[in-house]
């Protein structure tokens, strides 16, 4: 490069951000400490700062997945800010493992849904239960059960004598599916999309239904097409690993050239 040191604008251009974003990253501690030119107080960025801001930009999109992954991402960024690319690399591999765990959970929930929709029983027939009994059985709150009903995920028959909800084996089986899908981080919209098709007799490839918004549907959350998001995030995590490995290789080559 034509400069011994890099300017704020150089980092901003490389990372495709506004110069103020570079300054914010420095203020937040996402970049290594920056020396100042004693003659004019300009920041004196180096290749290490450039590597780090590119790492930050590549890492932040993973924040959308879960709190555990968000924690790993910030640990990874901090390792880079402390000039420890080896630690960042280790955490990048942990990130891949966490994303794959989310994928496994999401696929298992979709498989459970499909088997239930195909007629595999999940409940032993018994006398209908009231809402409090079902909440205890499924370890959810009464408010959650009511909320799922308000959102159209289930319709519960009522006792004609008193208007109380009566949950039979069909309703409880459906609630188990809903609970597992929510636990696996599918959005309410994706589950509603699925049950709407299920309720008109469309039971084939419900996994695809969960993951494919309708043309007129507003996609507001990554969990509206969760499996697709996770597949894209896994690819991005492998690219992040390659990016960090390139930094380590570059530093290793420079180190070997030093006298």
**In terms of residues, how long is the chain?**
259
- pLDDT tens-digit map of 200-212: 999 999 999 999 9
- The band of 164, judged by pLDDT with boundaries at 50, 70 and 90, is confident
Q: Residue 2: which pLDDT band, with cuts at 50, 70 and 90?
A: very low
Inter-CA distances, 234 with 69, 102, 197, 205, Å: 12, 10, 29, 23
Share of the chain above pLDDT 70, in %: 98
Q: Is the pTM of this model over 0.95?
A: no
Question: Is pLDDT above 70 for 187?
Answer: yes
Give the pLDDT of residue 119: 92
Other beta carbons within 10 Å of 141: 10
User: What CATH class is the domain 110-203?
Assistant: mainly alpha
pLDDT in tens, 106-139: 999 999 999 999 999 888 878 899 999 999 999 9
């Amino acid at each position: 490069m034509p400069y011994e040191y890099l300017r704020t604008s150089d980092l901003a251009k490389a990372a495709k951000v506004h110069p103020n974003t570079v300054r914010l990253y420095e203020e937040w501690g996402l970049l290594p400490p920056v020396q100042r030119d004693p003659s004019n107080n300009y920041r004196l960025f180096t290749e290490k700062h450039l590597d780090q801001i590119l790492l930050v930009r590549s890492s932040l999109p993973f924040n959308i997945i879960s709190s555990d992954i968000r924690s790993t991402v910030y640990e990874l960024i901090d390792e880079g800010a402390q000039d420890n690319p080896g630690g960042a690399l280790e955490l990048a591999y942990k990130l891949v493992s966490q994303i794959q765990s989310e994928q496994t959970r999401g696929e298992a929930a979709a498989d459970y849904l499909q088997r239930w929709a195909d007629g595999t029983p999940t409940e032993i027939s018994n006398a209908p239960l009231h809402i409090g009994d079902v909440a205890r059985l499924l370890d959810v709150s009464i408010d959650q059960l009511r909320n799922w009903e308000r959102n159209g995920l289930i319709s519960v028959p009522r006792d004609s004598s008193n208007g109380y909800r009566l949950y039979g084996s069909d309703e409880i089986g459906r609630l188990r599916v809903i609970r597992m899908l929510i636990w696996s981080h599918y959005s309410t919209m994706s589950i509603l999309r699925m049950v709407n098709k299920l309720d008109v007799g469309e039971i084939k490839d419900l996994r695809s239904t969960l993951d494919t918004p309708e043309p007129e549907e507003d996609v507001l959350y990554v969990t509206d097409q969760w499996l697709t998001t996770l597949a894209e995030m896994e690819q991005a995590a492998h690219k992040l690993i390659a990016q960090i490995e390139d930094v380590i290789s570059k530093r290793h080559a420079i180190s070997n050239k030093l006298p």
